[in-house]
Amino acid sequence: MSNFHTIKGTHDLLPDECIIWRQVENSIHSIMQQSGYGEIRTPIFENTKLFERGIGTETDIVTKEMYSWIDQGGNQLTLKPELTAPVVRSYLQHKMGNNYPIHRLYYFDTLFRRERPQKGRQRQFYQFGAEAIGSANPEQDAEIIAQAYNIYQEFDIKNLNVRLNSIGSADIRPKYLDKLRSTIQSIKHELCKTCQERLKKNALRLFDCKNSNCQDLIDKHAPLIFDSISEDDHVHFDTITLILDEMGIPYIHDQKLVRGLDYYTHTTFEITSSVLGAQDALCGGGRYNGLIEQLGGKPTPAVGFAAGVERLILAIENQEKIPKNIDVYLIHMGDKVTPTAVKIANDVRKYCGKIVILETLRRSLKAQMREAGRSSAKITLILGEEELIEKIIIIKDMKTGHQEKVPLSELIQYINS
Ligand code: AMP
């Protein structure tokens, strides 16, 4: 065994796992493209300041979890820990907003966060997500929620739970935060250290605390932001719920669901599934009408979501039952036969579009037969010296066990028929 291992919180994806990964990836591409979303790929590292400004200096990601370094040229760089900030950076850098009033972008990409690894929580992980930049209307929020929901439905994920809320527009925030701070001030000493800090720096994040004592206190004392949103914000929220009802997407209005960053406005949502256990969050998203301006652009409305790929794959039930999809196993015996066998494998791939496994270990007939059975191939082709002389090949149907001889010159036609 080698002395080298994957770094804590990272993992290899081996061929059997990649079968399901590839299927997930294909579905994501097709669902996104069906709705007119275009794929975007941004570099694996960016300027550290982009994340500080884009995610917020008080967040766990920026304070504790980024892989950052200074390169030989003195540049402060960071492996990307999230994708909205890079997508918005790209949107601004390429002046996309000047060419067209709306941009619908999606990604499937790898991220890095130095978190405590556990099932469903890694240090290198994948996310897919979508960002719709340009529309302030509620149908855009509903479409984004539906995009995420449709992907989970496509894979028949059980016990899905969509939670939805509105934190209103930015102008209601200062008054609400004053009210929140003054109410919580009297019970401040009963809160955890982190919440006491949050109260000072970003009080909305009090709602994100996982400590049960803090949760009880917040439940009991904190005013809810939903009770402070404006009439227009209510109309926006009600229209989204109306569209979701129309689409048959079930949701729960969770008035404690806030995304505690300055640039979030209006809609916040999360999709969870209890099949995942402790790390039950499949995806999170919302409207971020303030971010584009915060990163140096004109005020531009936007809404999006980000979803964990590892979590989706964990949630896919019975994934080991997914067939390997091998069509043909090609058995051959004898040195003289090998060149013809390799050519046949190549031709069947090329002219029949089949997945063909070619024996290259020169094992005994019995061992090759055993391997063909194990491979779950639909048919096995058998070519020995006798068959080569007679210019035929044996075809065995692995389901029925039926065997027949076919002239080599007719093999392609036979498989295609
Ligand atoms: P976030 O970008 O924190 O809003 O996360 C969006 C989604 O990404 C979550 O709902 C999870 O499904 C997934 N996710 C976040 N952090 C991790 C991680 N460390 N490992 C695996 N998946 C993660």
In the chain, the percentage of residues whose pLDDT exceeds 70 is 98
The H or E element containing residue 388 is: helix 385-390
Residue nearest to ligand 1 atom 12, measured at CA: 308
Q: C-alpha angle 45/47/50, rounded to 5°?
A: 110
Among 24, 268, 283, which residue has the most ligand 1 atoms within 8 Å of its CB, making it the best to mutate? 283
C-alpha 408 to ligand 1 mean position (Å): 54
Question: Token digits for 25?
Answer: 């990836």
- 256 in Cβ contact with 207 (< 8 Å): yes
Cα 291 to ligand 1 centre (Å): 20
What span, in angstroms and rounded, lies between the C-alpha atoms of 140 and 288?
A: 12
pLDDT for 58 equals 78
Q: Which domains does the chain have, with CATH numbers?
A: 15-169+229-318 (3.30.930.10), 328-416 (3.40.50.800)
β pairing state of 68-70 and 302-308: unpaired
Query: What burial letters (b/e) apply to 275-296, b meaning 16+ CB within 10 Å?
Result: ebeeebebbbbbbbbbbbebbe
229 CB less than 6 Å from ligand 1? no
> Is the CB of 284 inside a 6 Å radius of any atom of ligand 1?
yes
Structure tokens at 149: 């929901």
pLDDT digits (tens, 9 = 90+) for 30-51: 999 989 999 999 999 999 999 9
Q: How far apart are CA 165 and CA 254, in angstroms?
A: 6
- pLDDT tens readout for residues 161-218: 999 999 999 999 999 999 999 999 889 899 999 898 888 888 888 888 888 999 899 9
Please report, as a single letter, which amino acid is at residue 35. S
Nearest ligand 1 atom to alpha carbon 120: 21
Joined together, the tokens standing for residue 26 give: 């294909």
Over its length of 417 residues, how does the chain's per-residue pLDDT go in tens digits? 679 999 999 999 999 899 889 989 999 999 999 899 999 999 999 999 999 999 888 788 998 999 999 999 999 999 999 999 999 999 999 999 998 999 999 999 999 999 999 988 999 999 999 999 999 999 999 999 999 999 999 888 989 999 999 999 999 999 999 999 999 988 989 999 989 888 888 888 888 888 899 989 999 999 999 999 999 999 999 999 999 999 999 999 999 999 867 788 999 999 999 888 888 899 999 999 999 999 999 999 999 999 999 999 999 864 445 556 789 999 999 999 999 999 999 999 999 999 999 989 999 999 999 999 988 899 999 999 999 999 999 999 999 999 999 999 999 999 998
For 268, residues 6+ apart whose C-beta sits below 8 A from its C-beta are 164, 165, 166, 167, 257, 258, 259, 284, 285, 286, 287
**Atom from ligand 1 closest to the CA of residue 271:** 10
Beta strands in 43-159 (DSSP E): 45-47, 68-70, 76-79, 103-112, 124-133
Nearest CA to ligand 1 atom 15: 308
Burial of 400 (0-12, 13-18, 19+ CB in 10 A): exposed
Q: Enter the DSSP assignment of 290.
A: T
pLDDT of residue 320: 47
Of the candidates 10, 13, 32, which has an alpha carbon nearest to the alpha carbon of residue 307?
Answer: 32
Crossing angle between the packed helical segments 193-201 and 173-185, to the nearest 10 degrees: 140
Cβ(122) – ligand 1 distance below 6 Å: yes
Edge-to-edge strands, sheet with 328-332: 356-358, 328-332, 379-383, 392-397, 403-407
CB 223 within 8 A of CB 168: no
Token pair, residue 110, equals 């790898």
pLDDT for 210: 83
Query: Ligand 1 centroid vs 308 CA: distance in angstroms?
Result: 5
Query: According to the model, what pLDDT value does residue 226 have?
Result: 97
User: How many CB atoms neighbour CB 176 within 10 A?
Assistant: 20
Q: Is 309 in the pocket of ligand 1 (CB under 6 A)?
A: no
Distance of alpha carbon 30 from its chain centroid, rounded?
Answer: 14
Are the C-beta atoms of 119 and 286 separated by less than 8 Å?
no
Which residue's C-alpha comes closest to atom 16 of ligand 1? 121
Distance in Å, CA 155 to ligand 1 centroid? 19
CA distance 84 to 130: 9
Instruction: Identify the residue whose C-alpha is closest to ligand 1 atom 13.
Output: 308
